[in-house]
């Protein structure tokens, strides 16, 4: 479950309909109604918080968001997109990470989901972090 107040346009979430979860993008948020309009599988539908779930942040999701990966000699991994950086102290371990852009450094000591990374990116850069188109 995701709180509707945590969502914004462009956030990637899992939307559940008739017992099936599909990745989708938030297209609109109606805070008074407590619902989010999510486009999933080429259809748009309004979902409540009990029908929305976070997508775990992992290497595959970082690729979908357009990050390039660099494995460092010390066992850490750095993901880069423009001048925005995400550092995993240990390769493949998304339970603790550092994100930074210019002078803004944030140390996150718990796993975060895709929409939370998108929100950190937006807060820091004022640019939405959207998935890249796959051809």
135 has pLDDT over 50: no
pLDDT-based confidence at residue 134 (cuts at 50, 70, 90): low
pLDDT tens for 46-86 read 999 999 999 999 999 999 999 999 999 999 999 999 999 99
The reply to whether 37 and 64 lie within a common domain is no
Strand ranges in 31-133 using DSSP code E only, listed in sequence order:
35-40, 43-47, 52-53, 68-71, 77-81, 84-88, 97-101, 104-108
Provide the residue range defining the domain that includes 102.
59-125
State pTM to two decimals. Answer: 0.93
The reply to whether 66 and 34 lie within a common domain is no
pLDDT tens for 75-115 read 999 999 999 999 999 999 999 999 999 999 999 999 999 99
Judge whether 133 lies within some domain.
no
Judge whether 43 lies within some domain.
yes
pLDDT of residue 97: 96
Whole-number Cα distances in Å, 104 to 61, 77, 101, 118: 23, 19, 5, 15
Judge whether 28 lies within some domain.
yes
- CATH number of the domain within which 18 lies: 2.30.30.140
The reply to whether 68 and 110 lie within a common domain is yes
């Amino acid at each position: 479950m995701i709180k509707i107040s945590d969502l914004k346009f462009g956030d990637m979430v899992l939307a559940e309909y008739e017992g099936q979860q599909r990745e989708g993008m938030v297209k609109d948020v109606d805070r008074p109604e407590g619902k989010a309009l999510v486009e999933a599988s080429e259809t748009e539908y309004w979902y409540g918080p009990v029908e929305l779930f976070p997508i775990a942040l992992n290497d595959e999701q970082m690729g979908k968001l357009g990050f390039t990966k660099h494995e460092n000699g010390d066992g850490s991994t750095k993901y880069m997109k423009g001048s925005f950086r995400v550092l995993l102290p240990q390769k493949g371990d998304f339970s603790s990470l550092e994100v930074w852009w210019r002078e803004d450094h944030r140390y996150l000591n718990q796993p975060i989901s895709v929409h939370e990374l998108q929100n950190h990116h937006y807060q820091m850069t004022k640019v939405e972090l959207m998935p890249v188109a796959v051809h």
